[in-house]
């Protein structure tokens, strides 16, 4: 003989599980509403970034960049951690309003908090050659690949280990 208490407790457990599932589903929907779903807003965010910029020191002049071309201190080029090579970026010095368009041809900077390394020519045009650092805003002017979602999505690449010169062979 089956008692009503057992039947009732089974239904209660089932009802409790259904309520939990319903609350879980509603919670997921509420969280999904908070995630920006507007593609245009994501694209706008992906095209703008701000932070600190520095410029290349003399020790990097005429060395090969990550793209393979030599670093020319008189060209308007820059290093960025994730932007594709060849991307045109308008850099605005937020302290004085000066702007310059640079082409990304290298990877970096590798210092925390910096978003861009520019050539000395770009630093002079931006007005921070004497200071060494400037607070800047980057506006991407080139069309980015479809799979590129945001400027800082990818982690900063680690610098390649430097090879120490081989000692001369003794005979």
Tokens of 60: 């990097």
pLDDT at residue 42, as a whole number: 47
Burial class (CB in 10 A: 0-12, 13-18, 19+), 35: exposed
pLDDT, tens digit (0-9, with 9 covering 90-100), for 27-47:
766 666 665 555 445 444 557
Q: Please provide residue 76's backbone torsions phi and psi, each rounded to the nearest 5 degrees.
A: -95, 80
pLDDT at residue 167, as a whole number: 60
pLDDT, tens digit (0-9, with 9 covering 90-100), for 90-142:
999 999 999 999 999 999 898 888 999 999 999 999 999 999 899 999 999 98
Q: pTM surpassing 0.85?
A: no
For the domain bounded by 45-140, which CATH number is listed? 2.40.40.10
pLDDT, tens digit (0-9, with 9 covering 90-100), for 64-100:
999 999 989 999 999 999 899 999 999 999 999 999 9
pLDDT at residue 128, as a whole number: 93
Alpha carbons 119 and 62: distance in angstroms, whole number: 11
């Amino acid at each position: 003989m089956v008692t009503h208490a057992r039947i009732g407790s089974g239904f209660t457990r089932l009802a409790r599980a259904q309520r939990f599932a319903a609350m879980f589903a509603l919670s997921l929907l509420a969280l999904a509403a908070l995630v920006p779903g507007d593609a245009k807003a994501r694209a706008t965010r992906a095209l703008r970034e701000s932070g600190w910029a520095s410029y290349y020191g003399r020790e990097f002049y005429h060395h090969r960049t990550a793209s393979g071309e030599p670093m020319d201190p008189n060209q308007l080029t820059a290093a960025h951690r994730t932007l594709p090579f060849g991307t045109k970026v308008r850099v605005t010095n937020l302290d004085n309003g000066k702007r310059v368009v640079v082409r990304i041809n290298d990877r970096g900077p590798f210092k925390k908090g910096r978003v861009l390394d520019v050539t000395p020519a770009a630093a002079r045009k931006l007005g921070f050659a004497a200071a060494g650092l400037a607070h800047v805003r980057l506006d991407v002017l080139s069309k980015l690949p479809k799979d590129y979602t945001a400027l800082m999505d990818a982690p900063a690449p680690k610098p390649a280990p430097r090879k120490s010169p081989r000692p001369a062979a003794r005979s």
